[in-house]
Chains A and B, each alone.
Chain A
Amino acid sequence: MTEKPKLGVYICHCGINIAATVDVEAVTEFAQSLPNVVVARNYSYMCSDPGQLLIKDDIQESGLNRVVVASCSPRMHEPTFRKALQEAGLNPYYLEMANIREQDSWVHQDREEATAKAKELVAAAVAKVRLLEPLTPREVDAEPAALIIGAGIAGIQAALDIGDAGFKVYLVEQSPSVGGRMAQLDKTFPTLDCSACILTPKMVDVANHPNIELLAYSEVEEVSGFVGNFDVKVRKKARYVDVSKCTGCGDCAEACRVAGRFPNEFEEGMGKRGAIYLPFPQAVPAKYTIDPERCLFLTRGRCGKSPKCVDACQPGAIDFEQKDEIVTFKVGAIIVATGFDVFDAAKKPEYGYTEFPNVITGLEMERLVSASGPTGGEILVDNGEEQIVPKEIAFIQCVGSRDQSVGNEYCSRVCCMYTAKQAHLIKDKIPDAKVKVYYIDVRAFGKGFEEFYDRVRREGIRYVRGNPSEIFKRGNKLIVKVEDTLTATPLEDEFDLVVLAVGLEPRADDRKTIDLLRLSQSPDRFLMEAHPKLRPVDTASDGIFLAGCCQGPKDIPDTVAQAKGAAASALIPLARGKVSIDAQVAGVIEDTCRGCGFCVSICPYTAIELVEINRMGHMVEVARVNEALCKGCGSCSAGCLSNSIQPKSFRDRQILPQIAALGGIK
């Protein structure tokens, strides 16, 4: 360094967070005595405007060229103070923070000792700051396109917003149609809008949008790169139907030799389909798909003399030669919107779900009340003897939620309300039905929810406070064994139909996406956001965002709100067209690097590769850091046998004096 270091040290009170435990005056006085320190001050809130102004004024008036702020963790305010330095004309990386809050005042009680520790931390920061070098953040171009994984309402909404903003969207959906769970719902709480009526137009929009490329029946296979520059590889699974020829007439499905033999997933197994199918009438794209595990021709190599579907299809769309197709493209941002699974009621055997046909899940109920469902909207159940219109109906809330015994401690947030909705719909269709809802608490927290709950109760739905313990059969009635906890009465109530309000779970197949994108999970196993309050749609990886139920259970309004949030966040790099890359990344000293590649194997972000260079006439391999991928974690540096790779601002020669000042190296 050519100029002589001139340091300013600023000690923050953080209100009383620091000042109550640390004697800030004493620390200021101490700082003043340290070598090269020109000014030392303390102030109530350094991060406030006046606090930052103190620094800026001193830089300009006293010609400071290095700054130490002794305050909180750098996580929140390092960017704040860097900006202050920059605004005063100093390189922003000439800053060092001493954390005297989280590492000192918050964890100690003894004022004297806490003050002594603050002094040491300040001395250490002073020792390091003198040795910092100026760094310049880099910018790289961002690809003006986004990838969205999952086309439920979350993925659909995010795709429409980004597409409408003028950017290209690749919307990847693994099933044959977009729509997700919402497509399975009948009406939606609390307004009772018909789900299909509000969803179908959006489904059609994503298919027709000029900026959206819909990749249905497809799976993301590989993602590499970094924010602004992700390389994506997608497998378009063979439908065995040429979508450019298929008119969606359905003649093939009618003709299929195994028509109506297999449970239809969309109908929760209640309806049936054949080997060639459209999951539901409003499916988008409205193209038929052959199920390769069910089709006689694909599994056995023959289907009668000639496949009936082929004979039936006038445009000749059936194509057994079709192969999976790989498409690759580049995007600047990714939104994960993979949704949820419903809780598997078989995991609570005491409710007899697998045994009694008239014990059903809430999702099955959605199909049963739906006019487009397997019974055409008529509520008919099998009581083990015959098909009946149930007259005594029970709902059991919290099945598979709030329940440690099945490992789901969280509340699923939608089942109280969908229960109220379904109870209303049943009462509407079977006016003389006696409907009881067994609950622990009714969580009606959303806009219009409590009002809806009030309405449903007044329609004659009986709410009984107590969570049933088991269901068994007596004659042709289901017996629900439960305690009415408000009157402390154990009951054995009789019903024709019991609906289990199953909760929401993380998708079992999310593992794939988690590994692909290196996502984290919260303790509840849902995908984890970067910060539970302030960064609810971000992930720990830049440029990757979350939307909808993959991040946690939520209703449609919250799902859509989050999808819009994720779209807005994903648009930032796309709209700027550039992403800035932090300068505090690892750097290689190529002269001493031996090209052993150990760092390549260590780096958790795959940011390092070996490249060939010409070293005095010899071609040798050395490590090279992709600065856009590097997070500056320093793992490589700890591993390097020749000290040839070191993170900037954390080089040995910068941090060893800092450690020495703490008494770590004598």
Chain B
Amino acid sequence: MRGMKMTTENQTFTEKFDLLGCIQCGRCTGGCPVTVRTNLNVRRFVYDAYNEDLLEELSRVADIWDCTACHTCAVRCPKGLKPLEVLIGLRSLVVESGKTEPTVRDALESTFMEGNPWNKPRATRNDWMEGLDVIVAEPEQKVENLFFVCCTIAYDPRVQVTARNIVNLLNKAGVDYAFLGTDETCCGSEIFTLGEDGLFEMLIEDNTEMLNEYQADRIVALSPHCFTTFNTHYPDLNKPVIHYTQLLAELLEQKKLAFKDGLEKKIVYHDPCYLGKQSGVFEEPRSVLKAIEGVELVEFGRNRERSLCCEGGGGKMWVESESKIERLAETRVKDARALEADIIAAACPFCVLTLDDAVKAEGFEEEMRVAEIMEILGELEVMQEKPSSAQEVED
């Protein structure tokens, strides 16, 4: 998984993206979720970019900013190409020429200066911890689970709850953990998709150096974007990276965690592209939800490998799409409504934000809500270690 092929300076665009490997089968565009609402045809870009003289012109086509980096095209390509990276390559040309949207420019600048794309000072990165009993990591200190929060979860008041609730859960379950605190810097997931190669490489280098210093067994990422980016773009990281739902599933399986309260709700789980399609984590979030008594877990027709993208990734947080056609997140909440779900559960801050907006846009606030899995768990009043007999023997 880890170990993206490094591209050297003197590679041509065609070589870098293996454009000649393409057989024009159309699986990329066929699977691309945004084709129902935008003009993006990623296969055409793979085809047209053979012609290096056209690159400049192609980079000016607005469609390249419609890609959500869901990676469906890359997962489906039979020839191992990553078509979306061609679009990102074209975005890079725009970034290099300095002609980016002001919102994008600000996000990049903020990441460079403050280590997050949200124009927030680094010093306030820990504000979400207020009033909580959080263990903050020290490099020399041995720890099993080193938590990487994610810029969006750290700063966005709507999703901070993910981090806050998991701290409570970890404390109660007696898990050996620590959080990075203000040392944490953007993983670069969105910087990569916005096309800022140079900054992304710098983040990889700095983060690798920083993370490698910690005496931790593994890194637990709260966001699927950080999780997948570490696993696919950080070849020199010296410890494994897992997603927090994997940790929870592990704790549940080892009977180190149990939920005392039940929840009589119908929940539909939305697979985030970065967690499911891209990293193959499908079952753990489901097993966490299933562990709550009373929960009726239902499925979208398009689930797991065929989950519909919410359009939250690929830098779309900073680039508004011009399309007036129904957003994919709106399609998604309508599907959830048809299933009569009370809660759409997600395990990604971007999914929560986009789906939340869609629930509002559709006027479904009365009937349903969107919740991060940790949000749901946080509402179960007591979470405690359930010492099984096997556990006692071991201890």
Residues of A within 8 A of B (CB): 349-350, 352, 398, 402-405, 440-441, 465-470, 472-474, 481-485, 488, 490-492
Contact = CB atoms under 8 A, between A and B. Distances in A.
Contact of B77 (A350, A405, A466, A481): A405
B78 A490 contact: no
A483 B26 contact: yes
6 contacts: A398-B25, A403-B78, A466-B25, A483-B27, A483-B30, A485-B26
B75 A405 contact: yes
A525 to B, nearest CB: 17
The 10 closest A-B pairs by CB, nearest first: A469-B31, A469-B30, A490-B35, A483-B26, A466-B26, A403-B78, A485-B26, A483-B29, A467-B25, A483-B30
B231 interface: no
B79 interface: yes
B72 interface: yes
B301 A467 contact: no
Given A440-B23, A481-B30, A492 B36 contact: yes
B76 A350 contact: yes
B31 A485 contact: no
A166 B31 CA distance: 59
Given A488-B41, A490-B32, A467 B26 contact: yes
B302 A472 contact: yes
Nearest to B302: A472
Nearest to A466: B26
A466 B35 CA distance: 15
A473 B36 CA distance: 16
B78 A404 contact: yes
A128 B44 CA distance: 64
A467 B27 contact: yes
A350 B25 contact: no
B24 interface: yes
B304 interface: yes
Contacts of B78: 398, 402-405, 467
Given A465-B26, A482-B30, 14 more contacts: A405-B76, A405-B80, A466-B25, A466-B30, A469-B26, A469-B27, A469-B29, A469-B32, A472-B301, A484-B26, A488-B29, A488-B43, A490-B36, A492-B36
Nearest to A469: B31
A310 B31 CA distance: 57
A485 B306 contact: no
A476 to B, nearest CB: 12
Given A350-B76, A404-B80, A440-B25, A490 B304 contact: no
Nearest to A397: B25
A468 B76 CA distance: 10
A488 B306 contact: no
Contact of A490 (B24, B25, B41): B41
Contacts of A352: 306
Interface string B294-306: 0000000110111
**Which of A349, A403, A481, A484 has the largest number of chain B CB atoms within 10 A?**
A481
Contacts, number: 84
B194 to A, nearest CB: 25
A336 B170 CA distance: 60
Contacts of B24: 440, 485
A488 B77 CA distance: 17
Given A440-B23, A440-B25, A470 B31 contact: yes
A402 B25 CA distance: 11
A470 B306 contact: yes
B149 interface: no
Contacts of B25: 398, 440, 466-467, 485
Contacts of B107: none
A405 B75 CA distance: 8
A488 B32 CA distance: 13
Contacts of A470: 30-31, 76, 305-306
A349 B306 contact: yes
Interface in B12-35: 23-32, 35
Interface string B42-72: 0110000000000000000000000000001
Contacts of B28: 469
Contacts of A469: 26-32, 72, 76
Contacts of A488: 29, 41, 43-44
A236 B35 CA distance: 59
B26 A350 contact: no
Interface in B58-102: 72, 75-80
A482 B35 CA distance: 10
A467 B25 CA distance: 5
A99 B79 CA distance: 40
Given A405-B77, A469-B28, A492-B36, A349 B304 contact: yes
A440 to B, nearest CB: 4
Interface in B159-181: none
A483 B302 contact: no
Contacts of A490: 29-30, 32, 35-36, 41
Given A402-B78, A404-B78, A488-B41, A350 B23 contact: no
B32 A472 contact: no
Contact of B305 (A350, A398, A402, A483): A350
Interface string B186-201: 0000000000000000
A396 to B, nearest CB: 11
Nearest to A490: B35
Contact of B26 (A473, A474, A482, A492): A482
Interface string B279-323: 000000000000000000000011011100000000000000000
Contacts of A484: 26
B73 to A, nearest CB: 8
Contacts of A403: 78
Contacts of B31: 350, 469-470, 481
A350 B305 CA distance: 6
Given A402-B78, A404-B80, A405-B77, A473 B301 contact: yes
B67 to A, nearest CB: 14
Contacts of B76: 350, 405, 469-470
A214 B304 CA distance: 49
Contacts of B80: 404-405
Contacts of A485: 24-26, 29, 43
Contacts of A349: 304-306
**Which of B23, B36, B78, B301 has the largest number of chain A CB atoms within 10 A?**
B78
Interface string B248-272: 0000000000000000000000000
Nearest to A480: B30
Nearest to B78: A403
**Which of B27, B36, B75 has the largest number of chain A CB atoms within 10 A?**
B27
A491 B26 CA distance: 11
Nearest to A408: B78
Contacts of B301: 472-474
Contacts of A465: 26
Contacts of B27: 467-469, 483
A398 to B, nearest CB: 8
A483 B75 contact: no
A203 to B, nearest CB: 38
B22 to A, nearest CB: 11
Nearest to B305: A349
